[in-house]
Amino acid sequence: MPCLVDFHCHLDLYPDHAKAFTDCEQAKIYTLAVTTTPRAWPRNRLLASSTRYVRAALGLHPQLMDQRADELTLWEEYLKQARYIGEVGLDAGPKFYRFFDKQVQIFSRILHLCDQERGKILTVHSARASKMVLDLIEANLCPSHGRVVLHWFTGSPSDARRATQLGCYFSVNPEMLSHSKHANMIKGIPLNRLLTETDGPFSRIKGRSTTPSDAALAVEMLARVFGLEPSEMASKVEENLRTLVSEFL
Ligand code: MN
Protein backbone atom coordinates (compact mmCIF):
# COMPACT_ATOMS: atom_id res chain seq x y z
CA MET A 1 0.00 0.00 0.00
CA PRO A 2 1.32 3.49 -0.81
CA CYS A 3 1.98 5.99 1.98
CA LEU A 4 -0.78 8.34 3.08
CA VAL A 5 -0.52 12.09 2.56
CA ASP A 6 -1.87 14.74 4.96
CA PHE A 7 -0.86 17.96 3.27
CA HIS A 8 -2.50 20.26 5.83
CA CYS A 9 -2.56 19.42 9.52
CA HIS A 10 -2.08 21.52 12.66
CA LEU A 11 0.19 19.12 14.57
CA ASP A 12 0.96 21.87 17.10
CA LEU A 13 -2.68 22.04 18.18
CA TYR A 14 -2.85 18.46 19.48
CA PRO A 15 -2.27 17.97 23.22
CA ASP A 16 1.20 16.41 22.65
CA HIS A 17 2.95 18.22 19.81
CA ALA A 18 6.09 16.06 19.72
CA LYS A 19 4.06 12.86 19.84
CA ALA A 20 1.93 14.08 16.93
CA PHE A 21 5.16 14.28 14.90
CA THR A 22 6.41 10.83 15.92
CA ASP A 23 2.99 9.29 15.27
CA CYS A 24 3.19 10.50 11.65
CA GLU A 25 6.74 9.17 11.35
CA GLN A 26 5.82 5.74 12.69
CA ALA A 27 2.72 5.48 10.51
CA LYS A 28 4.72 6.76 7.48
CA ILE A 29 2.21 9.49 6.73
CA TYR A 30 3.65 12.33 4.66
CA THR A 31 2.41 15.28 6.71
CA LEU A 32 2.68 19.02 6.31
CA ALA A 33 2.60 20.58 9.78
CA VAL A 34 1.07 23.99 9.14
CA THR A 35 1.21 26.90 11.58
CA THR A 36 -1.13 29.81 12.22
CA THR A 37 1.52 32.24 13.48
CA PRO A 38 5.24 32.61 12.76
CA ARG A 39 5.81 32.35 16.52
CA ALA A 40 5.14 28.63 16.14
CA TRP A 41 7.72 28.24 13.36
CA PRO A 42 10.95 27.62 15.37
CA ARG A 43 9.53 24.68 17.33
CA ASN A 44 7.79 23.10 14.33
CA ARG A 45 10.94 23.55 12.26
CA LEU A 46 13.02 21.91 14.98
CA LEU A 47 10.66 18.95 15.32
CA ALA A 48 10.65 18.50 11.53
CA SER A 49 14.43 18.69 11.26
CA SER A 50 14.93 15.00 11.99
CA THR A 51 11.83 13.54 10.36
CA ARG A 52 11.51 11.74 7.06
CA TYR A 53 7.76 12.12 6.64
CA VAL A 54 6.91 15.42 8.31
CA ARG A 55 7.68 18.92 7.02
CA ALA A 56 6.82 22.24 8.68
CA ALA A 57 5.16 25.23 7.04
CA LEU A 58 5.52 28.90 7.97
CA GLY A 59 2.08 30.45 8.41
CA LEU A 60 0.11 33.57 9.23
CA HIS A 61 -3.58 32.67 9.39
CA PRO A 62 -6.10 35.09 7.80
CA GLN A 63 -8.56 34.65 10.69
CA LEU A 64 -6.00 36.16 13.08
CA MET A 65 -5.28 39.31 11.06
CA ASP A 66 -7.18 41.67 13.37
CA GLN A 67 -4.84 40.74 16.26
CA ARG A 68 -1.63 39.55 14.65
CA ALA A 69 -1.05 41.53 11.46
CA ASP A 70 2.14 42.95 12.99
CA GLU A 71 3.58 39.41 13.02
CA LEU A 72 4.15 39.79 9.28
CA THR A 73 7.56 41.20 10.18
CA LEU A 74 8.48 38.00 12.00
CA TRP A 75 7.03 35.91 9.15
CA GLU A 76 9.30 37.80 6.73
CA GLU A 77 12.34 37.18 8.95
CA TYR A 78 11.77 33.43 8.79
CA LEU A 79 10.84 33.26 5.10
CA LYS A 80 14.28 32.22 3.85
CA GLN A 81 14.25 29.22 6.22
CA ALA A 82 10.99 27.83 4.86
CA ARG A 83 10.21 25.89 1.70
CA TYR A 84 6.56 25.35 2.72
CA ILE A 85 4.31 28.30 3.53
CA GLY A 86 0.97 28.17 5.36
CA GLU A 87 -1.52 28.45 6.57
CA VAL A 88 -2.06 31.70 4.68
CA GLY A 89 -4.94 33.08 2.60
CA LEU A 90 -8.26 34.85 2.99
CA ASP A 91 -11.48 34.25 4.95
CA ALA A 92 -14.60 36.25 4.12
CA GLY A 93 -16.78 34.48 6.68
CA PRO A 94 -19.04 36.66 8.88
CA LYS A 95 -16.64 36.63 11.85
CA PHE A 96 -13.67 37.72 9.77
CA TYR A 97 -15.07 40.00 7.07
CA ARG A 98 -14.65 43.09 9.28
CA PHE A 99 -10.89 42.99 8.66
CA PHE A 100 -10.98 41.55 5.14
CA ASP A 101 -9.05 44.54 3.73
CA LYS A 102 -6.23 43.81 6.16
CA GLN A 103 -6.25 40.14 5.09
CA VAL A 104 -6.03 41.14 1.42
CA GLN A 105 -3.13 43.46 2.14
CA ILE A 106 -1.18 40.81 4.09
CA PHE A 107 -1.90 37.92 1.71
CA SER A 108 -0.87 40.03 -1.30
CA ARG A 109 2.41 40.83 0.42
CA ILE A 110 2.98 37.16 1.28
CA LEU A 111 2.37 36.09 -2.33
CA HIS A 112 4.64 38.83 -3.64
CA LEU A 113 7.48 37.81 -1.31
CA CYS A 114 7.05 34.13 -2.23
CA ASP A 115 7.21 35.13 -5.89
CA GLN A 116 10.48 36.95 -5.28
CA GLU A 117 12.01 34.16 -3.21
CA ARG A 118 10.98 31.42 -5.66
CA GLY A 119 10.39 27.73 -5.14
CA LYS A 120 7.90 28.02 -2.26
CA ILE A 121 4.94 25.65 -1.90
CA LEU A 122 1.95 27.32 -0.22
CA THR A 123 -1.08 25.81 1.51
CA VAL A 124 -3.84 28.39 1.09
CA HIS A 125 -7.13 29.01 2.93
CA SER A 126 -9.93 30.49 0.78
CA ALA A 127 -13.16 30.22 2.80
CA ARG A 128 -15.91 32.25 1.11
CA ALA A 129 -13.20 34.05 -0.84
CA SER A 130 -12.29 31.69 -3.71
CA LYS A 131 -12.47 34.30 -6.42
CA MET A 132 -10.44 36.90 -4.54
CA VAL A 133 -7.81 34.31 -3.58
CA LEU A 134 -7.44 33.35 -7.24
CA ASP A 135 -7.29 37.01 -8.29
CA LEU A 136 -4.46 37.66 -5.82
CA ILE A 137 -2.55 34.53 -6.84
CA GLU A 138 -2.87 35.49 -10.49
CA ALA A 139 -1.68 39.04 -9.80
CA ASN A 140 1.20 38.23 -7.44
CA LEU A 141 2.63 34.74 -7.87
CA CYS A 142 3.92 33.58 -11.23
CA PRO A 143 3.27 29.81 -11.71
CA SER A 144 6.89 29.32 -12.72
CA HIS A 145 8.06 30.85 -9.39
CA GLY A 146 6.03 28.89 -6.84
CA ARG A 147 3.12 26.56 -6.33
CA VAL A 148 -0.18 26.91 -4.48
CA VAL A 149 -2.13 24.06 -2.92
CA LEU A 150 -5.69 25.18 -2.23
CA HIS A 151 -6.70 23.68 1.09
CA TRP A 152 -10.39 22.86 1.78
CA PHE A 153 -11.35 24.65 -1.43
CA THR A 154 -15.13 25.12 -1.77
CA GLY A 155 -15.38 27.33 -4.84
CA SER A 156 -17.56 26.65 -7.86
CA PRO A 157 -16.61 24.23 -10.64
CA SER A 158 -15.58 27.22 -12.77
CA ASP A 159 -13.40 28.59 -9.94
CA ALA A 160 -11.77 25.15 -9.76
CA ARG A 161 -11.07 25.19 -13.50
CA ARG A 162 -9.55 28.64 -13.22
CA ALA A 163 -7.37 27.50 -10.28
CA THR A 164 -6.21 24.51 -12.31
CA GLN A 165 -5.20 26.84 -15.14
CA LEU A 166 -3.21 28.88 -12.60
CA GLY A 167 -1.26 25.73 -11.75
CA CYS A 168 -2.88 25.10 -8.35
CA TYR A 169 -3.19 21.77 -6.59
CA PHE A 170 -6.08 20.93 -4.23
CA SER A 171 -5.87 19.17 -0.88
CA VAL A 172 -9.17 17.57 0.08
CA ASN A 173 -10.39 16.24 3.44
CA PRO A 174 -13.14 13.82 4.43
CA GLU A 175 -15.44 16.50 5.84
CA MET A 176 -15.59 18.43 2.55
CA LEU A 177 -16.06 15.22 0.56
CA SER A 178 -19.11 14.40 2.65
CA HIS A 179 -20.95 17.31 0.98
CA SER A 180 -22.19 16.25 -2.46
CA LYS A 181 -21.86 19.79 -3.82
CA HIS A 182 -18.14 19.85 -3.07
CA ALA A 183 -17.58 16.26 -4.13
CA ASN A 184 -19.13 17.18 -7.45
CA MET A 185 -16.81 20.17 -7.91
CA ILE A 186 -13.82 17.97 -7.03
CA LYS A 187 -14.83 15.51 -9.73
CA GLY A 188 -13.95 18.19 -12.30
CA ILE A 189 -10.38 18.60 -11.03
CA PRO A 190 -7.66 16.74 -12.97
CA LEU A 191 -6.50 13.67 -11.03
CA ASN A 192 -2.89 14.82 -11.16
CA ARG A 193 -3.72 17.94 -9.09
CA LEU A 194 -5.24 16.18 -6.11
CA LEU A 195 -3.75 15.70 -2.66
CA THR A 196 -5.35 14.68 0.62
CA GLU A 197 -5.41 16.47 3.98
CA THR A 198 -7.23 16.34 7.29
CA ASP A 199 -6.93 19.93 8.61
CA GLY A 200 -6.82 18.18 11.96
CA PRO A 201 -7.79 18.86 14.63
CA PHE A 202 -10.31 21.29 13.05
CA SER A 203 -12.14 19.03 10.60
CA ARG A 204 -14.56 16.50 12.06
CA ILE A 205 -15.85 13.15 10.99
CA LYS A 206 -18.24 10.85 12.79
CA GLY A 207 -18.55 13.41 15.58
CA ARG A 208 -14.86 13.49 16.44
CA SER A 209 -11.85 15.56 15.56
CA THR A 210 -9.52 14.16 12.85
CA THR A 211 -5.88 13.06 13.00
CA PRO A 212 -3.46 12.48 10.08
CA SER A 213 -4.41 8.78 9.80
CA ASP A 214 -7.86 9.97 8.65
CA ALA A 215 -6.19 10.82 5.33
CA ALA A 216 -7.07 7.17 4.58
CA LEU A 217 -10.71 8.14 4.66
CA ALA A 218 -10.08 11.04 2.27
CA VAL A 219 -8.43 8.55 -0.10
CA GLU A 220 -11.39 6.15 0.11
CA MET A 221 -13.91 8.91 -0.48
CA LEU A 222 -11.90 10.37 -3.37
CA ALA A 223 -11.59 6.91 -4.90
CA ARG A 224 -15.38 6.62 -4.84
CA VAL A 225 -15.77 10.03 -6.52
CA PHE A 226 -13.41 9.02 -9.33
CA GLY A 227 -14.48 5.37 -9.59
CA LEU A 228 -11.04 4.04 -8.66
CA GLU A 229 -9.81 1.45 -6.19
CA PRO A 230 -8.58 3.08 -2.95
CA SER A 231 -5.08 1.68 -3.58
CA GLU A 232 -5.00 3.29 -7.05
CA MET A 233 -6.15 6.59 -5.58
CA ALA A 234 -3.53 6.39 -2.82
CA SER A 235 -0.79 5.76 -5.42
CA LYS A 236 -2.00 8.70 -7.45
CA VAL A 237 -1.93 11.03 -4.43
CA GLU A 238 1.56 9.90 -3.44
CA GLU A 239 2.75 10.38 -7.02
CA ASN A 240 1.21 13.88 -7.10
CA LEU A 241 3.04 14.77 -3.90
CA ARG A 242 6.34 13.60 -5.40
CA THR A 243 5.73 15.67 -8.53
CA LEU A 244 4.83 18.74 -6.48
CA VAL A 245 7.85 18.61 -4.18
CA SER A 246 10.32 17.93 -6.98
CA GLU A 247 9.32 21.10 -8.84
CA PHE A 248 11.66 24.09 -8.48
CA LEU A 249 14.53 21.98 -7.11
MN1 MN B 1 -6.11 24.79 8.72
Measured in Å, residue 202 CA sits from the centre of ligand 1 at 7
CA 205/CA 85 separation, integer angstroms: 26
- Measured distance between the N- and C-terminal CA atoms of the chain, rounded to whole angstroms: 27
Inter-residue contact 59 to 10 (CB < 8 Å): no
Whole-number Å distance between alpha carbons of 214 and 196 = 10
> Cα(230) to centroid of ligand 1, in Å?
25
Q: Ligand 1 centre and the CA of 195: distance in Å?
A: 15
Kind of pairing between the strands at 208-209 and 204-205: antiparallel
Note the pLDDT tens digit of each residue in 163-217.
999 999 999 999 999 999 999 999 999 999 999 999 999 999 999 999 999 999 9
Q: Indicate the DSSP class of residue 54.
A: E
How remote is the CA of residue 175 from the centroid of ligand 1, in Å? 13
Q: Is 121 helix (H, G, I), strand (E, B) or coil?
A: strand
Ligand 1 center–CA 223 separation, angstroms = 23
Q: Are 126 and 160 in contact (CB under 8 A)?
A: no
Residue 158's pLDDT is 98
Alpha-carbon distance values, 133 to 89, 90, 139, 150, 219 (Å): 7, 7, 10, 9, 26
Cα(9) to ligand 1 centroid in Å equals 6
Single-letter amino acid, residue 160 = A
* Neighbour tally for 81: CB within 10 Å: 11
Report pLDDT for 237. Answer: 98
pLDDT for position 182: 96
Measured in whole angstroms, the distance separating CA 96 from the mean position of its chain's CA atoms is 19
Ligand 1 centroid, distance to 211 Cα (angstroms): 12
User: Rounded to the nearest 5°, which phi and psi values hold at 37?
Assistant: -140, 145
Q: Which residues 6+ apart lie within 8 Å of 72 measured at CB?
A: 60, 106, 109, 110
Q: How far is the CA of 8 from the centre of ligand 1 (A)?
A: 6
| pLDDT for 176 | 94
**What residues in the chain have per-residue pLDDT under 70?**
none
Which of 157, 154, 122 has its CA nearest to residue 136? 122
Cα–Cα distance, 230 to 43 (Å, whole number): 35
Whole-number Å distance, alpha carbon 86 to ligand 1 midpoint, is: 9
